[in-house]
Amino acid sequence: GAVVSQHPSRVICKSGTSVKIECRSLDFQATTMFWYRQFPKQSLMLMATSNEGSKATYEQGVEKDKFLINHASLTLSTLTVTSAHPEDSSFYICSARAVPFVGRGASYNEQFFGPGTRLTVL
Amino acid sequence: GEDVEQSLFLSVREGDSSVINCTYTDSSSTYLYWYKQEPGAGLQLLTYIFSNMDMKQDQRLTVLLNKKDKHLSLRIADTQTGDSAIYFCAESIFQAGTALIFGKGTTLSVSS
């Protein structure tokens, strides 16, 4: 299946610093990537939809100036957590939707998930 | 509204069958998915079902969909200790370009 990588897998930073997380589709192109956040023992909550070459669409309650998303190419989207605070500590997961649809038919909406990035803000 | 509900925990013995249940509220869902998440890892797609299907079987996995009751289940036959993980039910409303809506996940614990 298609592979999505995230870097770094874990990051610990001091409060007030910024952290950049990369999401790459390794063997396919993705016009759309999604960023999710997962708190311990909770579900994945969609933060934003990232479309290549255009501005990201943020979900209600997600501060776009705090969580900067850049989808500069068909294989890379980045999420930058600016001025991080301890409450930003979480597991951040990206997913990418392949174009063309990989192996499953034109109407299939499979998203390939990255392994996640564990952010701890001290 | 969009809401996906799952029971939080399930505990089974190795070799038994596991049944994880999910309910959703949006009748316009087109695809319903089951994902597996092992500790500290990302999500792995297990299987999916299109909303006009009632059942899908894939090796040890059987998905049943009751569209009238908006109920989805995942049955794992001959459950193994390696099946211990969190299982997420998810739905998508449209065919293209939309994010998935996830349930809170069911933690499956398999004892030997």
Q: Is B47 on the interface with A (CB under 8 A)?
A: no
Partner-chain residue, chosen from B40, B95, B103, that has the shortest CB–CB distance to A109: B95
Map B35-100 to HEC letters. Answer: EEECCCCCEEEEEEEECCCCEEEECCEEEEEECCCCEEEEEECCCCHHHCEEEEEEEECCCCCCCC
pLDDT band at B36 (very low <50, low <70, confident <90, very high): very high
Partner-chain residue, chosen from B30, B99, B103, that has the shortest CB–CB distance to A43: B103
In tens, the pLDDT along A23-69 reads 999 988 888 899 999 887 778 899 999 888 888 999 999 999 999 99
Cα(A91)–Cα(B13) distance, integer angstroms: 30
Query: What is the reported pLDDT for A106?
Result: 42
Backbone angles phi, psi at A87, to 5 degrees: -70, -10
Which residues make beta-bridge pairs with A49? A34, A57
In tens, the pLDDT along B66-75 reads 989 999 999 9
Cα(A122)–Cα(A20) distance, integer angstroms: 16
A38-to-A41, A69, A89, A119, B41 alpha-carbon distances in Å: 8, 17, 10, 11, 12
Query: What is the reported pLDDT for B100?
Result: 84
Q: What is the mean pLDDT of chain A?
A: 87
Q: Is B24 on the interface with A (CB under 8 A)?
A: no
Cα(A48)–Cα(A6) distance, integer angstroms: 16
Interchain contact, A115 vs B96, CB within 8 Å: no
pLDDT at B20 over 50: yes
Backbone angles phi, psi at A113, to 5 degrees: -95, 145
Query: What is the reported pLDDT for B99?
Result: 77
Residue of B nearest to A59 (CA): B99
